[in-house]
Chains A and B, each alone.
Chain A
Amino acid sequence: MSGMLTSGASDTSGGIGGRVLTDGVDISHRGILYLEGISVSFDGFKALNDLSLTIDAGELRCVIGPNGAGKTTMMDVVTGKTRPDLGTAYFGQTIDLTRLSEPEIADRGIGRKFQKPTVFTNHTVFENLELARKADKRVWPTLTARLDSTAHGRIMAVLETIKLAPEAGRLAGLLSHGQKQWLEIGMLLMQEPQLLLLDEPVAGMTDDETMRSAELFRSLAGDYTLVVVEHDMDFVARIADRVTVLHEGHVLAEGSMQQVQENEQVIEVFLGR
């Protein structure tokens, strides 16, 4: 029954920002996410093969790689959806992610956006953000929860950030694909996470929406740590601090976009031998 007792930290902050140096996650050694020697196999297929990866607090890391390279599986491991066969996954210095359930990991401060935008279609945009908001998420506090002015202010601030303020009262199911992507990102921001995992966040967006997403992500980096999986190389070049290339469940190369593009092995994998 321990899941019922997970801590729901009190909510004090009103605006966005200042999320790096917060309680819970020990980032005293700069790193916020440590994956070491992770292996995952499904029916003999090695989705991840001795994957080691360190993400620094506040950076914007892009993860690229061909289909089946293990990008989504890596996110599954970090968010508790998949348990690794081997290896360790730490959030900060102290939080062992392989021992926590999905809601517990979300509660500790890791937010995840899915490849296919996943929002609550029968709730309004406002209600979607309200439900995602960092709060005590056990049954009884949820039953008796009332929306105070701080919470309301924060929802309005995020609505501005994701440019959906005019749509606040619309059912989320009626939004365009790009708007749903933004709403899901807004829901992550409401959780006040320290680490955001974004799986193909600009897929299906118009050029204009993609541009605005790039601006948004750049503005979030520093305050938040972002890990972005993306196929759009122009987009990656525009936003990434550093790029990690995955291939067959293993890190092939890591560095700036330019370093990665000039890497012999990367060229071989992407362009074929």
Chain B
Amino acid sequence: MPVGFVPLNLRTGTPNFARLSASATWVALGVAALLIFVVFPVCNLLVPPGSALHISDYWITLFGKIMCYAIVALAMDLIWGYTGILSLGHGLFFALGGYAMGMYLMRSIGHEGVYQSDLPDFMVFLDWKAYPWYWRYTDHFWYAALLVVLVPGLLAFVFGYFAFRSRIKGVYFSIITQALTYAAMLLFFRNDTGFGGNNGFTDFKRILGFPITAPSTRMALFVLTGFALLAFLLIGRAIVDSKLGRVLTAIRDAETRVMFSGYNPLYFKLFIWTLSAVICGIAGALYVPQVGIINPSEMSPANSIEIAIWTAVGGRGTLIGPVIGAAVVNLGKSWFTQTLPEYWLFALGLLFILVTLFLPRGIAGLWKRRTS
């Protein structure tokens, strides 16, 4: 057999290795679902704290947070790994989703804030008399949930339309997205824009009437996040395995050929870019009630760069890789920040260098190398 020969499934035109690994993928997904939906809830809620099998709230919160990051890394993989467009502003979409959910949580506090006012504490503190127009109706959960999807989606659509139509590519696109998230951060830091300034939103009390710190609420959010992660993995897989997925990869590898084949790359990029932003927004909305705070630092350029690092460490263009990357890097981060806080950034930098030098295809590349 010649080098690189892949047996072809002539009915679907897809290489057979995709079908061979399909069963392994289903097993992995099943195991993940079992862990998220059965093992973690049982070991956290039902197994008594003294037992060796007990999983503490600390780990539930940490894993819940990591799954949110994993969703973001997955979204990043769709646009960067598959389509070849590096965004260094994905933290913005994550934060926007988080802010929309955060405002709903602020308004759910009711009169139990420090000032016991109709308005959230930060508004009283900053001398606001009424809600600005953009926060109207955010006391309704479903409206806030709509904003979670619409705000990142619309921003990404409009920004993407002009950027892709102007054929802005490569490092120029990355720099502009970086500037975009930085500009948004400065805007959200201001006290007079109604986003809570540098303190952001915090001190949440309840979500949909349930106390937000109760173990059962925490577990519900954890399970919901796990469900979202698995759902986005399946949706992502369906997209990249479709003809559209092959067009995206073709855009990454030879955009002019795509154009002269009759596809308009603008709309394909816009589709995946907007979808990626919406997924980030949803991840942000799941993140905020679990960690209990959202502030403008989520929009700092460093956060967005970190998202790119998770994706690169895990392995671009594999979907599962970035999920693993987000988990590995963030577990490392949580260990370092507790034990050797001052060395974390060195470790992150070293990890990134080592992966770039020795694992250009990331952690997922290890597995692929072994099987091929």
Mark A residues whose CB is within 8 Å of B.
3-4, 6, 79, 101-103, 106-107, 111-112, 114, 118-124, 126-127, 130-132, 134, 137-139, 142-145, 147, 152, 155, 168-171, 174, 187, 191
Q: List B contacts of A134 (CB < 8 A).
A: 262
Smallest CB gap from A118: residue in B: B257
CA distance A169 to B12 in the complex (A): 12
Mark B residues whose CB is within 8 Å of A.
2-8, 10-15, 239, 242-244, 246-247, 249-250, 253-254, 256-264, 266-268, 271
A-B contact count (CB 8 A): 115
Q: List B contacts of A170 (CB < 8 A).
A: 2, 4-6
- New A-B contacts (11) at CB < 8 Å, excluding given A112-B260, A131-B246, A142-B243: A120-B253, A124-B8, A127-B13, A130-B13, A131-B250, A139-B271, A145-B244, A147-B11, A169-B7, A171-B4, A187-B257
CA distance A142 to B267 in the complex (A): 11
Q: List A contacts of B5 (CB < 8 A).
A: 169-170
Contact across chains for B260 and A3 when beta carbons are under 8 A apart: no
Q: List B contacts of A174 (CB < 8 A).
A: 2-4
CA distance A142 to B243 in the complex (A): 6
18 pairs of residues in contact across A and B, judged by CB atoms under 8 Å: A103-B260, A103-B262, A106-B260, A118-B256, A120-B249, A120-B254, A120-B257, A122-B249, A123-B250, A124-B6, A127-B246, A130-B13, A142-B247, A143-B239, A143-B243, A147-B11, A169-B5, A191-B261
B104 to chain A, nearest CB (A): 32
CA distance A191 to B258 in the complex (A): 12
Q: List B contacts of A120 (CB < 8 A).
A: 246, 249-250, 253-254, 257
A16 to chain B, nearest CB (A): 17
Smallest CB gap from B242: residue in A: A143
The 9 closest A-B pairs by CB, nearest first: A169-B8, A106-B262, A143-B244, A145-B243, A174-B4, A103-B264, A102-B259, A107-B262, A118-B257
With A120-B254, A122-B249: A142-B13 Cβ-Cβ less than 8 Å:
no
With A102-B259, A138-B267, A168-B8: A131-B243 Cβ-Cβ less than 8 Å:
yes
Contact across chains for A131 and B247 when beta carbons are under 8 A apart: yes
B146 to chain A, nearest CB (A): 23
Smallest CB gap from B250: residue in A: A120
A135 to chain B, nearest CB (A): 8
Smallest CB gap from B317: residue in A: A122
Q: List A contacts of B4 (CB < 8 A).
A: 170-171, 174
Q: List A contacts of B264 (CB < 8 A).
A: 3-4, 6, 101, 103, 137
Contact across chains for B13 and A155 when beta carbons are under 8 A apart: yes
With A106-B262, A131-B247, A131-B250: A147-B267 Cβ-Cβ less than 8 Å:
no
Contact across chains for A122 and B8 when beta carbons are under 8 A apart: no
CA distance A155 to B239 in the complex (A): 23
CA distance A119 to B264 in the complex (A): 17
B262 to chain A, nearest CB (A): 4
CA distance A145 to B5 in the complex (A): 26
Smallest CB gap from A3: residue in B: B264
CA distance A103 to B265 in the complex (A): 9
- B242, B249, B250, B261 — most chain A CB neighbours (10 Å): B261
Contact across chains for A3 and B15 when beta carbons are under 8 A apart: no
Contact across chains for A3 and B262 when beta carbons are under 8 A apart: no
Q: List B contacts of A114 (CB < 8 A).
A: 256-257
Q: List A contacts of B8 (CB < 8 A).
A: 124, 126, 168-169
Smallest CB gap from A197: residue in B: B260
Q: List A contacts of B257 (CB < 8 A).
A: 114, 118-120, 187
